[in-house]
Structure 1
Amino acid sequence: MRTIKQLHAAYRDDIGDLTTRRPVPGPGLDRIGPFLFLNHHGPQVYRPGNNGLPFGPHPHRGFETVTFILDGVLAHHDTGGHESVIDAGGVQWMTAGSGLIHAEVSPPSFKRDGGSLEILQLWLNLPARLKMTAPRYSGVQKNDLVRVPLAGGQGELELVAGAFEGQRGPISSLTGAFMSVVRLAAGAKAVLPAPAARAVFLYVVKGDVLIAGKPVAQWHLVELNDDGDTLALEALGDCVLLFGHADELNEPVVAHGPFVMNTAEEIRQAFADYQAGAFNGTGPLKGLVD
C-alpha cells in the first residue's frame, strides 16, 4: 500500500464572483509529476441574470486541460473547430498541443436562469515529443462514462481515461494517463491500483476519507510516497475524489501564463506565434482573436 508523504490544502483564489480553490501549484508543491495545476470552482449557486463563467478566449500550448463538470453546465469552443455543451457529470479533454485558443463559458440558458455550479479543471503536461502535436478535443457526457462498482456497491469509479477491471474509459489519452472520479458512501472501503513509479493524483473534492489509514478532509491534495502499487481508501462520510495516475516525464518544465514548454526559448516562441495569429485556426473563435 502506498503511504502519504504530505497533505496540501487548497487555498482560496477567487476569480471575480467565482469561488475558486487551488491545491496545486501552491506553497511547497509546484506539481505532481505531469499534473501541473488544479482549479476547483464552486460549489456555489448563481442567481438568474448572472454573467456566467469568466473564461473567454485565451490561448494554450504544450499541455492538456481536463475539465470535470460536477454540477451545472459548460460550453466550449475553440479555434480547432470544436464546440460542445457538457452537462453535469460530464468531462471535456482538450489537447492544446501546438496551440489553439479556446473559451469555456456558461451557455445563455445558465446566464438567464442561474443554477448550481461546481467544476474542476486539471492541467496535464505533455512530453517534449508531443508538445507540438495537433490539437484535439473530446467532450463526454455523464452517460458516456464507464461506471465500475466499488466496495460491494457502496461506491463507484467513473472511468474517464485508461483501463480498470477490464473496462476502458471513453477518452484515449496520448500519454497513457489514467483519470477517474471516485464516489464512496459513508463506511465504504476500497483498494485502487496505484502503479509503482507512476505519479498519482488524488484530490478530495467532497467529504472526509481515510487514505492509507490517515484522515484527510475535503479540499486537500494528497501527495503519496512511491512505496507501493495500491491505495487504500475508507470513506468517513459520503465523499468524492479525483483520482488519476500517469508516467513521470523527468523533463524540464518551463511555464509562463497559458503556455507550458521545456525551455524559455520555446515560451518566447509560443508568445510570438500567438501574436502572429498562428493559433487562430479556422474555428468559431477566428473573428474574436484579432
Structure 2
Amino acid sequence: MTRQIKQQVKAYRDDIRDLQTRRPLPGPQLEHLDPFLFLNHHGPQVYAPDNLGLPFGPHPHRGFETVTFIVRGELSHKDTGGHESIIGAGGVQWMTAGSGLIHSELSPESFKKQGGELEILQLWVNLPARLKMTAPSYVGLQAAEIPQIPLSHGEGSVSLISGEVAGVSGPINTLTDVTMMTVQLAAGSEITLSAPAAREVFLYTVKGRLQIGDDEAQAWHLIELDDAGDSVTVTAVDDAVILFGHADKIREPIVSHGPFVMNSMQEINQAILDYQAGKFDVKLDDH
C-alpha cells in the first residue's frame, strides 16, 4: 500500500519587511509534524537593484537544526562558530544550532546592488533531549555538491541532501537519520518515494500541483500523509517542485520560545540567560 493524503495545510502569508513569506508550519491547523517544527517559504519574487536584501541579521538558536534551501538567488551565512559562506541557487545549508549559535542570513552585497530573483525555504528540525546541547556545526553545499538522481526520459530529478535513494547517499550525515531531498517533476511525470510507515513524512509543494492517490495536492501546501504504507506515489499535474523527507518521531515535550526549542520552560529560561550572558560566543559583527 502507498500513503494517501491525510490533510493539506495551506501556507499563510506572513511577510517580513518587503520579503514575501508563506508559512504552513506552525499554523492554526498543525502545530508541528514531529520532528519537523517550522517552515518559511520566502518568495518567489524579484528584487530591484539597490535593495535592502534579506532582513535576517544576527540572531540566536538553541536546541534544533535549520535546513535552508536556496531555490533562486544567493544567501550569505555567518555564525559565531566561525562558519561563513555564500550559497547560490540550488544549494543547501544545514546548521546544527545545538547548544547555541548566533548567525546571520543576509543577501550578498552584489545581490543588494544588482537585484534579481529570490526564493528560499527554511525548515527547522527538532533534536531529542540527548542532543539538544550538542556542539554546533554547519555545512554549506553548492548545487554542484548535491547528487542529482534523474528520472527516466528526462521527466525530472531528485536532489538528494541526506539519506539514500536508488543506492545514492546524500552528502549530509545527520545526527538523527533524517532523509531530505527536493524533487523536480515535469508535468505528467510520476515518482514513487520511500516513506517508511514508522517515520514522519514531510512533503511541501514548493511549486505546482500534484496528484496523490485520489486527491490533488495544491501548490504552497504542506501535505500530511497517513501511515498506511511504506511509500508515496506522486504525479505532477503541472511542472512541480516538492520538498520531501522523513525522520523518526522524537515523541518528547516541545517547549519553544522564539529562536529556542527545548523540552521544558526551565531549559528555555536557561537558554535566555546563557544568550544574555554571551555564552553563545561573539565572533559575529552586524555586517
Q: How many residues align?
A: 286
Partner SS state of residue 175, structure 1: coil
Shift of 1:25: 0.4
Q: Which residue of 1 aligns with 2:217?
A: 216
Q: Does residue 116 in structure 1 map to residue 131 in structure 2? A: no
Give deviations 1:253-288, integer Å, cap 9, x for gaps. 00000000000000000000000000025x3x0x55
Segments of structure 1 that go 5 or more residues without pairing to the other structure are none
Q: Identify if the C-alpha distance between structure 1 residues 151 and 237 changes in structure 2 by more than 3 Å, giving closer, same or farther.
A: farther
1:151 and 1:189 in contact (8 A); partners too: no
**Are 2:93 and 1:61 equivalent residues in the alignment?**
no
* Paired residue type of 1:161: S
**1:183 pairs with 2:181:** no
Please state whether the residue corresponding to 2:173 is helix, strand or coil.
Answer: coil
CA contact (8 A) 2:54 2:106 kept: yes
**What residue number does 1:235 align with?**
236
Counterpart contact for 2:61–2:102, Cα < 8 Å: yes
2 CA distance for matches of 1:125 and 1:267?
14
- The separation in 1 between residues aligned to 2:286 and 2:234, in whole angstroms, is 47
Cα pair 1:2 1:224 within 8 Å, conserved? yes
SS of the residue corresponding to residue 267 of structure 1 reads helix
> Would you identify which runs of 4 or more consecutive aligned residues in structure 1 move more than 4 Å?
none
Does 1:265 pair with 2:266?
A: yes
For the 8 Å contact 2:57–2:286, the answer to whether it is kept is no
1:152 Cα deviation from its structure 2 partner: 4.1
Correspondence list, 1:90-101, <5 A: 90-101=91-102
CA contact (8 A) 1:94 1:135 kept: yes
Pairwise CA RMSD: 1.1
Q: Which amino acid aligns with 1:52?
A: G
Amino acid at match of 1:173: T
Equivalent position amino acid for 2:50 in 1 = G
SS of structure 1 residue aligned to 2:273: helix
CA distance in 2, matches of 1:288, 1:266: 28
> What TM-score do you get using the length of structure 1 for normalisation?
0.97
Cα deviation 1:2-57 (Å, max 9, x = unaligned): 11110000000000100000001011200111000000000000000000000000
Looking at structure 2, the residues matched to 203 and 150 of structure 1 have their Cα atoms a distance apart, in angstroms, of 20
Which amino acid letter does the alignment assign opposite residue 256 of structure 1? H
Q: Distance in 2 between matches of 1:142 and 1:16?
A: 28
8 Å CA contact 2:64, 2:124 repeated in 1: yes
Paired position in structure 2 for 1:142 = 143
In structure 1, the partner of 2:76 is: 75
Q: How does 1:28-43 map to 2 (within 5 A)?
A: 28-43=29-44
1:133 aligned residue: 134
SS state of the match for residue 16, structure 1? coil
Q: Contact 2:208/2:237 (CA < 8 Å) preserved in 1?
A: yes
Alignment of 1:15-30 (within 5 A): 15-30=16-31
Deviation at 1:196, TM superposition (A): 1.2
Task: Tell whether the 8 Å contact from 1:23 to 1:220 is kept in structure 2 after alignment.
Answer: yes
Q: 1:212, CA displacement in angstroms?
A: 2.5
What TM-score, normalized to structure 2? 0.98
The percent of aligned pairs where both chains have the same amino acid is 62
- How far apart are the structure 2 equivalents of 1:158 and 1:212? 24
- Secondary structure in 1 aligned to 2:197? coil
Structure 2 gaps of 5+ residues are none
Letter in 1 for 2:251: N
Deviation by residue 1:216-238 (Cα, 9 ceiling, x = unmatched): 11100000111110001111110
Query: 2: distance between equivalents of 1:30 and 1:212?
Result: 25
- Distance, in Å, in 2 between the alignment partners of 1:137 and 1:14 is 27
Letter in 1 for 2:177: G
2:250 alignment partner in structure 1: 249
Give the CA deviation at 1:149: 1.6
Aligned residue for 1:9? 10
